[in-house]
Amino acid sequence: MEKYLITGFSGFVSKHFLEYLESLSKQVTVYGLDINYPDFIYSSYSKVKCTFNKIDLLDKSKVDNIIFQFKPDYILHLASYSSVAFSWKNPVASFANNTNIFLNLLEQIRALNLKCRILSVGSSEEYGNVFEKDIPLLESHKLNPVSPYAVARVSQEMLSKVYVEGFGLDIVLTRSFNHIGPGQRNIFVIPSFASQLVNIKKNNLPAELTTGNLAIIRDFLDVRDVVKAYYLLLHKGEKGQVYNVCSGFGTSLQTVVKIMTEILGMNVNIKIDESLIRPSDNSIIVGNNDKLKKACDWETEYSLEDSIRDVVNYWSNVL
Amino acid sequence: MEKYLITGFSGFVSKHFLEYLESLSKQVTVYGLDINYPDFIYSSYSKVKCTFNKIDLLDKSKVDNIIFQFKPDYILHLASYSSVAFSWKNPVASFANNTNIFLNLLEQIRALNLKCRILSVGSSEEYGNVFEKDIPLLESHKLNPVSPYAVARVSQEMLSKVYVEGFGLDIVLTRSFNHIGPGQRNIFVIPSFASQLVNIKKNNLPAELTTGNLAIIRDFLDVRDVVKAYYLLLHKGEKGQVYNVCSGFGTSLQTVVKIMTEILGMNVNIKIDESLIRPSDNSIIVGNNDKLKKACDWETEYSLEDSIRDVVNYWSNVL
């Protein structure tokens, strides 16, 4: 029976990964680690036997012991201090913690000489500021990280390559672009819009949506397509290789708002909040996903409209 | 009066930097930090007023206090866990300590909003494995670090750029190639050869020199040319820019041995020690120093023969 260790277990990507595992026709065992308790039920799956342990991944002795006991076949490393804004306020914590939690995992796999494949989840933030002529971004594009968070992510990639080449570890890497899907917290842009709009509609509030810059274009990939890519990369990805995990097409936030208001049958006025506009934000970030498609026979299954509809429905149920 | 904080004060580069400062026509103040005591006298200079404090740079509160009290105009950050071999045995310590000691400095400069220029000393190791067609290496060449030490150095560069762009710090960066000069410990290749040969000659021992692969070609720069470059970069370098510090020409270790034995008037047999041959070593590493020359009006003053002669004389006096 395949054994998966998932870090960042309590996040919404992990929940969707469990649901993807449940949809497959085999029994698997999952050991989840997170510093927070999950807000979803993980004990009711029939094919996924789940254990959870609330720990800080910086606690090396605990991590060591869990890996020694569980001996995972696969590690899905989702845990991170993933906020770019946090990293500007706490650059050292962001950099050191992100790299240290990753190194703690690698060191124990190395010490035990475990046959274990690790998916190192990186970020499109690693590309930094890019020119429109380079869109869609290929994995071979120069990395130019512009935040402490992004530097940590590039360091994680470089360390992975050293552990693959120098110590023989089996690591596959991603650069993951914006996720969209039910369950994502509304500190992110799309669930923020959806929760605001649903709240307005449900409570007959003034039809005013607070936004940042709606002209920016991002590559949104449904979280259910993301987790399928992660599963396939764990099984079919090439050791030491980096894969963009993205939809391959760009959508402006303007378009996102338009689709949402159509689904909800609403008209809203836009109120720009200057504090939400980051001066150094790229106007456009879109990835090329050919490498992932070729390696894994992966295709997106959810259209942007499907995803937005599900996000709107999620917030309609939650609020 | 200019105030210099020097980390890695007890190393041989620092000693030569002090001598360079002493050769200038102005009084300066230096505060030296190192985890080890220096083995040279630093109190007898006439123009350089020197203080030393034995501390571990990982001790953030001590570092903070020293920077707060001293308020340096310039920081020459020489300190590092600089052994590639150590980094393979202790990858986490090498990576974490190298980045943490650097971040401890930056954070205090940022917190105090000090007007202070920092020279971040990097390494040619950052280039990793390169093709001969790319020699001599330009600063724009892709970085491909292949050891934990080299990853730490690239991370230090990326962090520097974030602190320059995001926090307005004044950091100039180097990628420094092989140093040669009197005072370097004989764990390095050239002083190892020199000390072996001097020892053979002084004690009439069998004329056998133990070496690794003598065919490899490296870019050796006299430490006195290195420290002049560091001084000039601190005063004339462009904020946020990276400069190769190198001679611009390559010399095989075979040639180094030939020059040394000619100076000493000896004939030796070569005994290859397989344990000294690293499989992943580049056959050739040579840098391009045009950027440094242009920015600083810097030129090398010591020929390779001068340097080797001084190294041989140093070991003749020491042994």
Q: How far apart are CA B85 and CA B96, in angstroms?
A: 16
Q: What 3-state DSSP class applies to A218?
A: strand
Q: How many residues does the structure list for chain B?
A: 319
Interface of A with B (CB under 8 A): 88, 91-92, 95-96, 99-100, 103, 107, 142, 145-148, 151, 154-155, 158-159, 161-163, 165-166
Q: How far apart are CA A178 and CA A251, in angstroms?
A: 11
The shortest CB-CB distance from B159 to any of A88, A151, A158 is to A151
- Check if A2-180+221-247+287-296 and A189-217+250-285+304-318 are the same fold: no
Q: How many residues does the structure list for chain A?
A: 319
A233 Rama class: left (phi>0) / alpha (psi -120 to 50) / beta: alpha
User: What residues pair up with A3 in beta bridges, in sequence order?
Assistant: A29
Q: What is the pLDDT of residue A279?
A: 61
Q: What are residue A65's phi and psi, to 5 degrees?
A: -65, -40
**b/e burial code for range B212-231 (CB count within 10 A of at least 16 → b):** bebebbbbbbbbbbbbbbbb
Closest by Cα among A36, A40, A82, A86 to A57: A36
For residue A202, count other CB atoms closer than 10 A to its CB. 11
Degrees to nearest 5, angle at CA A246 with A297 and A177: 145
Strands (E), chain B: 2-7, 28-34, 48-54, 74-77, 117-123, 170-176, 178-180, 208-211, 217-218, 220-222, 242-245, 251-252, 269-272
Which chain B residues contact residue A98 at CB under 8 A? none
**b/e burial code for range B136-145 (CB count within 10 A of at least 16 → b):** bbebebebeb
Q: What is the pLDDT of residue B81?
A: 86
CA distances from A216 to A38, A88, B293 (A): 32, 21, 42
Which chain B residues contact residue A63 at CB under 8 A? none
What is the predicted ipTM? 0.91
Element (H, E) at A7: strand A2-7
Domain made up of B2-180+220-246: CATH architecture: 3-Layer(aba) Sandwich (3.40)
> A95 and B99: CB-CB below 8 Å?
yes
Q: How far apart are CA B73 and CA B292, in angstroms?
A: 22
- The alpha-carbon gap from A66 to the nearest alpha carbon of chain B, in Å, equals 20
Q: What is the pLDDT of residue A105?
A: 97
Q: What is the pLDDT of residue B312?
A: 97
Closest by Cα among A159, A147, A121 to A6: A121
- The alpha-carbon gap from B60 to the nearest alpha carbon of chain A, in Å, equals 12
Q: How far apart are CA A140 and CA A75, in angstroms?
A: 25
Longest dimension (CA), chain B: 61
Which chain A residues contact residue B154 at CB under 8 A? 155, 158
Top-tier CATH class for A2-180+221-247+287-296: alpha beta
Q: What is the pLDDT of residue B85?
A: 83
Give residue limits of the domains in chain A.
2-180+221-247+287-296, 189-217+250-285+304-318
- In the structure encoding, which two tokens stand for residue B147, read together? 């050891």
The pTM assigned to this predicted structure is 0.93
Q: How far apart are CA B210 and CA B219, in angstroms?
A: 21
Closest by Cα among A136, A99, A280 to B161: A280
How would you list the strands of the sheet with B117-123, edge to edge?
A: B48-54, B28-34, B2-7, B74-77, B117-123, B170-176, B242-245
Q: Residues in chain A with pLDDT < 50?
A: none
State the residue for tokens 């509160």.
Answer: B61
Judge whether A39 and A20 are in contact, CB under 8 Å. no
Q: What is the pLDDT along chain B (319 residues), one digit of tens a residue?
A: 999 999 999 999 999 999 999 999 899 999 999 999 999 999 999 999 999 999 999 999 999 999 999 999 999 999 998 788 888 999 999 998 999 999 999 999 999 999 999 999 999 999 998 999 999 999 999 999 999 999 999 999 999 999 999 999 999 999 999 999 999 999 889 999 999 999 999 999 999 999 999 999 999 999 999 999 999 999 999 999 999 999 999 999 999 999 999 999 999 999 998 887 766 677 899 999 999 999 999 999 999 999 999 999 999 999 8
> A146 and B162: CB-CB below 8 Å?
yes
Domain made up of B189-217+250-286+304-318: CATH architecture: Alpha-Beta Complex (3.90)
Which chain B residues contact residue A148 at CB under 8 A? 159, 162, 166
Q: What is the pLDDT of residue A135?
A: 96
CA distances from B120 to A236, B8, B208 (A): 41, 12, 40
Q: How far apart are CA A227 and CA A4, in angstroms?
A: 13
Pick the CATH number of A189-217+250-285+304-318 from 3.90.25.10, 3.40.30.10, 3.40.50.300, 3.20.20.70: 3.90.25.10
